[in-house]
Structure formats: structure tokens, C-alpha cells
Structure 1
Amino acid sequence: MLLKVHHTAAHCGGDIQITGSKSETNRLLILQALFDSITLKNVSNSDDAQVMQKALSSSDEVVDIHHAGTAMRFLTAYFSIQEGRDTLLTGSARMQERPMAILVEALQELGAQITFTHNEGYPPLQIKGKALQRDEVTLKANVSSQYISALMMMGAKLDNGLTVHLDGKITSVPYINMTLALLHQLDIEATFEGQKIVIKPGRNSAVAREITVESDWSSASYFYSIVALSRKRNFNTPHTITIASYKESSLQGDAALREIYKQLGVVSSFAGDKLTLSLNQDFELPETITLDLANSPDIAQTIAVSCLGLGVGCHLTGLHTLKIKETDRLEALREEITKLGGSIMVTNQDLTLLPQKAAVNENITIATYHDHRMAMAFAPLALQVPLLIEDAGVVSKSYPDFWTDLEVLGFGQEIIG
């Protein structure tokens, strides 16, 4: 679906309800499957969460998780301890290009029986579930925190728990802390100190409990971008966007948005579980900003596009994990920002956008590369110029209501093909 997006309305404000965090939901779905005493509220309505739910409820030998990278990683560990069950875990063509060797080798070190059926180191995976007796493993920590989280959750179900030794610089620490906090909510003893994680057996987790999933902060990033970019529209009256349901003390690393977008003139204020975003009218934009996004790489695309539209330069580091996402996100950003007239350079782990005064090019067709975040990160630019978004339906992976919510804020949309 090719979607033309523009914004000619006199307003750009409103109230938006965002469903639960995809990151929290997928962890809690695994924990619910391991410890069936949990009831969940406000779960994500994303494709990824639905894929996870379907996989966990399936008794089929072949489980296809399509594009869902989180599901691939978490389910690899989950199925490895389902005694007596044989599972072929597979996914889309892109998923079969995403490396899994580090996690699989760690599970094999614990005694898991997993084989690569096509290309060594990549899905599909043949998994023969069994009881794992070993309780200590070493894992490279600089590739994906989801490998670590997968082991942590699985470890809570092992008879002797699990100790994970982390080798090297640890990536996306807030996501590890999120998993740790969710384990603590189930009264599972778990510690993360230095380069070592210790998970005790979850013997006290049989108590029935209800957990409400906080709304997704990465989804909130697109509204931060809209408010920041509204500075260039000169609306007659300032407009605010209120989004729910959020917590001032969040488990999600992407809550760093509050401090990051303060540097671009966006004010965040809480009232209960509602977060209101407004523009600091007297704010003077910086010429450039420098950010280390090692703990929140999923918001890099949004920030880069915000800076492009504001004419602000940015140097974003800590982005090495973006090479193995739904697409090579760094190269995808370079391609699309260049089409819009930006001057951008990328390496395997960082991005540099030069400040510029010229307006972005209009009526450019943005390729999304089967990546939901490419579509949503570029859409706020339609506040300034009309854009065409290829494969606009890809947003359903994490935020199915995205285009509907943009209509609330005055964004016009037209399906071209």
C-alpha cells in the first residue's frame, strides 16, 4: 500500500491511547507460559505480540514467527526446555538472515538440543525440548540484549536456576533491567551486578497475580517528533498531544525520550497515567546534538528524522544492533534521508547528520524495507511537506493504530496504490 500523507489542518493536537509496550508484553507472555499464574492487562495489539501468543498456544511441530525477531529469540530458549516436544522454529526470508548462533551456542552449552536446518548460525532451528541440568553459561554481551533476556526468563524455570556471565560491553542495559524487574514482580529472586546475572528458580511464582502492561515508549517517540516538528508550522495557537498510559518511573529504556526531546524543545508533563507533550515556544534550537543510544537504539530513526526536519545536526552512537534488525536500519536511513535532501554519513555503529537550512524535499516516496519503524519515523515529516510511504501497512508489526491516530492529529491520508 502506497500512502500519501500530508498535514494542512489548522490543528495538531489531541488525545491518543497507546496499547501496552511490545517489549514488556512479549516478556510477560513468555513468563505467563512458564508460570501460568499470571493474568495480563493492556497487552500490546501489535503483530509481534499476536505472533507470540499464537506460537505459545500452538501445538504444531512447525512454528512460523514471520518477521518477529523478539519472538525468535525468546521462543528459542522457551522451546528448548519443553520436555518431549520437537519444534521447527522458522520465520520470513529476512528472519532467516538474522544471526542466532550466539544464543543457540549458549543454550547448547547448557545442554539444549538445537540444530540449524539450513544455514549454520541462522534460522530455521530444529529444537528438541528437554530438561537442562547445567546452570551456568557465558554469553557475548555486545550483540543483542534479547539473547540475555531469553536466558534469564528460561533460567527461572530451571531446577537450579541460572547464572549468566556476560563477556564484553553490555548492549541495551535497560532491557535487561526490564526483564529483571518483571521477574521480581513474580517474586523470582534475580540479581544483575557487574558482568554477572543470577536467576534463582521461580518456586514462589505460583501465586495468582494481575499485571498491567505500561504503554509503549517507542510508539510515543513519533508524537515527540510531531510536537518538535510543529515548531516549523507556526500554528496560531500552541497545541498539545496527550498520550496514555504511561508511568514516570518506567521500566522501558525508551523513556529516555523525555530528556532527549527536551534538547529539541519538547516539554513532558504527567497527570496520573497521562503524558502531555507541548512545545517550549521560547526555546532556541541547538546547531547539533550528540547522543549515545546504546540503551535505546529503537528511537534512533525517529530522532534522526526529527533533526532533519528541524535543520539540526545530530551525531548518534551506540547503534551497532541496528544492522541486524528488520532491515539494516543505518543504511536505510542513509538512503531515505539523502532522498529528502539531507547530508548524512553512517558507519556500522553510528550516524552523523549535518545541520542544514534548506527545507526537505517534498513528495518523496519513502521506502520502508519491511520495517515498521521506517514508516513511522518518517511520517511526522508530513507536518512540513507531503510524503508518500511505501508499504504503509507495515506499521501493524508494532503499532496497528498508527495511521488512525495520526488522523486525530489532523494528518490527511490518501491511498495511491
Structure 2
Amino acid sequence: MSQHPSQRIIVEKFTSELDGTVVVPGSKSITNRALMMALCGTGASTIRNPLDSDDTRAGLAAAQALGCQIDTISDGVVVHGIGRDRPVTGSSLNVQSAGTVARFLPCVLAMGGAGEWTIVASKQMTLRPMKGLFDALDMLGDCIRPLERPGYLPAVVRGAAITKNEAFVDGSVSSQYLSGLLIAAPQAEHPLVFRTDGHVVQRQYVDITLDCMRSFGAEVEATSDLSSIRVQPTGYAATDFQIEADASTASYFAALPAALKGSLVIPNAVRNSRQPDVRFLELVGQLGCDVTWLGSKGVRISRPTALSKLKGGFTFNLNDCSDIALTVAALAPYADAPIEIQGVAHIRNHECDRVDAMTHALSALGIQVEERADGWKIFPGSPRYAEVQTRDDHRMAMSLSVLGAAGDGVSLDHPQCVAKTCPEFYRLISQLGLAVRDTSSD
């Protein structure tokens, strides 16, 4: 993301009590899944309440570059599917920093009609591993060729090159590898079988993929442990699809009343969501907050006035919901005893090494933290004001905003990295009463 290197924002110390409502943008994960399925479908699909962010724009741009017509409507987009056809070939497709698009698009291209494309990405995305996906594609045919380093983008993808019907998928690094293969499989010319060792990190995202596929008319059978999944070559049907609130993004807003005291309502939160990060609401309850579901009107998170400090002394394994690890880490200093976060070694391979990044940020803010291979032990403390590095990572910026507002304030570099998943983040927290100041013109 291009930003002026000196650009910073300050989230100032919050001295009031929170009392507000915020409508959280749609799910990034579900938006990009629905977009890829609509692209591979026949007829016009309507996607309602899609997230509008850097990541989802990268998916839309890739679809349009392949010849897919996309119309904007008041509550979403209409995608005119191209099925297996590839009206535009020989082009370069830029997935920017969008991990989902980077993992889904090579599969969609490989399993569709004939053509050849070069997939390029931001510097950040070219550092993220793709080996597990490329290895699985190699088992299916001669369809992927990295251009610089084995197992990383950029790469050339060939369509109509699938000659085998079965592949093993390594699910230990990212569930997106398996999801990408599954999303693309209904457009193949014959049934495909994908096998794993039964251990898939953040497997709930694969469950979300399977739900979305079935909503678009796919026929797919999966064992309960995802060790074997069979997909029929049905293609996808045109669908009217509603995107629910993004549970990962919701965690930053749900953390605000926990950190700042007060109450917040998220009217579009979904209690029975498949998104694993909805677990954050359960964790906030364990920390001592009141979490009240309001039926079809969402959820209210409140911190009891008598709760002077959050409850600590917990060990949380967040392997299946690791996108909330930074949010939990941001609340940990405000607990009455240390909090340990385990099971998130794989977030070292996300937009940045998130374990290392949060260790440095907490230390800069004066918080004692012990870094582990797969997480942290974070001790109670009073965060001081500091200039900290987001490392151009949206989740670092949003979680540190919560942490800083509850402390003595915080200065963040690369503030617009939040556009990856929540471009309106600073506006939304400002509407809730937090003071956010852009220092680039100071």
C-alpha cells in the first residue's frame, strides 16, 4: 500500500465511558469466496453487503480483468459469471496484498478454460508462503510455474492443464490452500478429490467455503475431519447471496467496551456464525464483560461498572481463530493477572510476523511480555504513550488503537493499512467518541 513514510495517526487516551452502536462491514473472507464462485458461475449473481476494502477490490479487479462484467447496485454488486470461459488471456493479474485472492485465483485459473496468466502481488504478498498450494496444483497437472522463488509469487498459471483427479493438500500453514482448490473444483471437467492429514489450521474457514459452495449449487462431500473431500464438476449456479458481518473486524469494536468501560451494540453480529472469530465474544465474557444477544438485533457488550480490571489468569489456545490473537493481546495488559495466548505460530507468516510485531509494540508501550514460539505471556500493566510500528499490518493497527485508547494514547505508522479489511475504521471509532488525530500535516 503506498503511503507517505512519515504519515502517522494518534489515537488519544479515552477519558469518557463508551456508549454506542456500530454496524460492522461485511466479511472479507465470505465476500471473496462469493465473488470467486459468482465469477465461475453461469448467469448473474447478486452479492449483498460485500466488504469494500483493498482485499475485496483486488478480487473484483481480477474478475474484471478476466472479462467478467460487474455492476454496482445500492446494496452490493451483480457479477455476470463466465463459467469455465476465459474471455481475456495472456494478461497480468495483480492480487495486491490479498491473501485470499492470491490463494484462490491460481486455482480458479488452473481449473478453468485454456489460457495463460501471470499473477503478481505486492512485496508483502510475495513474502507469504504459497508452497502448499503450488505443490497440490502440481499433483493435478502442469499448471503453475513460479517466476522467481519456488513456493512464492509471482507465478504463471496455465488453464485447462488439469490431468489428474486427486491431490494431497498441506493444511498446516493456511486453510486458504484447501479453500482455493475447493472453490475452483466445480468448474473442472471431472470429479476431483482432495486429501489432507486431517489437521487443517483454522478449519472453520474451510467449513465456510463448503457452505458457500453449496449455496452456489455445488455438490461436495467431505469427511468430518476434512481428510477426504470429493467435488463434482457441477459448475456454479447464479445466486442471490447475503454477506454477514466480519467477525474478525467486529473483535476490535467488541474490545472497546472491555478496554474503555461502557457498552457497545453491534446490530449485525450473527450468533451462530461459522466464522471462527465470533469466539472473541465468548472470550470477552470470560474476561468479565456482559455479552447479551439481542435476537435479530445483534449483540451488546458491556463492562460492569464494578469491574476495575478485566479478569486474567487465563491460557487461551487461539489456533482456530488466530485473527483475534492481536485483539486479545491488546486487552491482556488491562487484566488482573497474566494472560497466555497459544497456538498461533502460523500468524508469523501473515502480513508480517505478528507475534514478533506485537512483542515489540507491547514492549514499546511499557508492558512486560514473554514471547513464545506460538504466542505470548502478557503481564498486567499501564501502557504509556509511545510511537509504535504497525508493520503495515491492518490487524496490528486496529488492535493497537484499542490498546492505546485505553492507556495513555498511541501513535501509529502506516495508519491506512486498515483499508485492507476496514477502510472506515478510524471514522467508525471517531463516531464512538474516540479522538483520532492525523499528524502528517502537523
TM-score normalised to the size of structure 2?
0.87
Aligned to 1:113: 143
Q: 1:199 aligns with which of 221, 227, 230?
A: 230
Identity of aligned residues (%): 25
Inter-partner Cα distance in structure 2 for 1:159 and 1:287: 54
Structure 2 residue 22 is the aligned partner of structure 1 residue 16: yes
Structure 2 residue 55 is the aligned partner of structure 1 residue 48: yes
Structure 1's 416 and 149: CA in aligned 2 closer, same or farther, altered over 3 A? same
SS in 2 for 1:13: strand
What is the deviation of 1:131? 4.6
Contact kept in structure 2, 1:87 and 1:126, CA below 8 Å: yes
The one-letter code matched in structure 2 to 1:241 is: L
Count of matched residue pairs: 406
SS in 2 for 1:315: strand
What is the deviation of 1:112? 4.0
Contact kept in structure 2, 1:109 and 1:137, CA below 8 Å: yes
The one-letter code matched in structure 1 to 2:252 is: Y
The one-letter code matched in structure 1 to 2:390 is: T
What is the deviation of 1:309? 3.2
Inter-partner Cα distance in structure 1 for 2:34 and 2:174: 19
Contact kept in structure 1, 2:333 and 2:382, CA below 8 Å: no
Inter-partner Cα distance in structure 2 for 1:156 and 1:188: 6
What is the deviation of 1:313? 1.7
Taking the TM superposition and a 5 Å limit, the aligned residue runs for 1:200-349 are: 200-201=231-232, 203=234, 205-206=236-237, 208-231=238-261, 239-271=262-294, 272-282=296-306, 285-349=310-374
Structure 1's 197 and 13: CA in aligned 2 closer, same or farther, altered over 3 A? farther
SS in 2 for 1:385: coil
SS in 1 for 2:319: coil
Aligned to 2:384: 361
What is the deviation of 1:7? 4.1
What is the deviation of 1:244? 3.3
What is the deviation of 1:198? 2.1
What is the deviation of 1:87? 0.9
- Deviations along 1:178-237, one digit per CA (max 9) or x if unpaired, are 11111122232223323423233252743x431100010111111221111124xxxxxx
What is the deviation of 1:175? 0.6
The one-letter code matched in structure 1 to 2:412 is: I
SS in 2 for 1:241: strand
Contact kept in structure 1, 2:12 and 2:434, CA below 8 Å: yes
Inter-partner Cα distance in structure 2 for 1:203 and 1:48: 28
Contact kept in structure 2, 1:140 and 1:166, CA below 8 Å: yes
The one-letter code matched in structure 2 to 1:198 is: I
Instruction: Return 187-196 or 401-410, whichever deviates more.
Output: 187-196
Q: 2:406 aligns with which of 371, 378, 383?
A: 383
Inter-partner Cα distance in structure 1 for 2:209 and 2:130: 20
SS in 2 for 1:3: strand
Contact kept in structure 2, 1:188 and 1:205, CA below 8 Å: yes
- Unaligned runs of 5+ residues in structure 1 are 232-238
SS in 2 for 1:287: coil
RMSD after superposition: 1.8
The runs of 4+ residues in structure 1 deviating greater than 6 Å are none
What is the deviation of 1:285? 3.9
Contact kept in structure 1, 2:194 and 2:229, CA below 8 Å: yes
Inter-partner Cα distance in structure 2 for 1:322 and 1:409: 30
Aligned to 1:4: 10
SS in 1 for 2:123: coil
Inter-partner Cα distance in structure 2 for 1:216 and 1:240: 20
Structure 1's 343 and 191: CA in aligned 2 closer, same or farther, altered over 3 A? farther
The one-letter code matched in structure 1 to 2:194 is: V
